[in-house]
Amino acid sequence: MMPPPGYILIRPETLVGVQKAVEAALGARAAECLAAGGRAGGVKATAQLEGDAASRAGRLLEAGREIGWGDFALERLTPTALVVSVAGSPFARAYGAAGAPVCHLTRGVLETLALVVLERPARVVETTCAAMGAERCRFESVPT
């Protein structure tokens, strides 16, 4: 099994193992460390996008599906708001039950998407997560 050029294959359990170790070491600050990793990958992913905001967003979410990050759906895109949901997040599945959202890597990637497609700076918050029992993880931009 060969990954696409520029990628490596890694089990979600491996990433979640890192996540849980960082959480044990740093507590609440761990989420931002993981989101920073998502942003670093997101910078590469969004640099290759072309077209208007809707086509850039659509292409990134399609790429997310192709590399196994879940079934992404663009729920809302305006010049100032981005809402994305994901079914079957491998990070939520590998994490197991949790009292708070756990898909910080995905959130970081979507923060770079928000930088590219929104007219104002925004951070992204995961408002519901499959690890909390929700049907889909949901990510919403919040103006900064």
Binding interface with Zn ion (CB under 5 A): 89, 92, 103, 129, 137
CB of 107 to Zn ion, least distance (A): 8
**Cβ closest to Zn ion, residue 79 vs residue 133:** 133
**Cβ closest to Zn ion, residue 124 vs residue 137:** 137
**Cβ closest to Zn ion, residue 22 vs residue 49:** 22
**Cβ closest to Zn ion, residue 92 vs residue 114:** 92
> CA–CA distance from 29 to each of 25, 96, 144 (Å)?
9, 20, 19
Q: What does the alpha-carbon distance between residue 122 and residue 118 come to, in Å, rounded to a whole number?
A: 8
CB of 135 to Zn ion, least distance (A): 11
CB atoms within 10 A of CB 121: 11
**Cβ closest to Zn ion, residue 53 vs residue 88:** 88
Q: What does the alpha-carbon distance between residue 68 and residue 4 come to, in Å, rounded to a whole number?
A: 12
Q: What are phi and psi of 98, to 5 degrees?
A: -145, 155
CB of 15 to Zn ion, least distance (A): 13
CB of 102 to Zn ion, least distance (A): 6
∠ CA 138-139-143, nearest 5°, is 145
CB of 91 to Zn ion, least distance (A): 6
129 closest CA partner among 81, 65, 85: 85
Residue 76: what residue type?
R
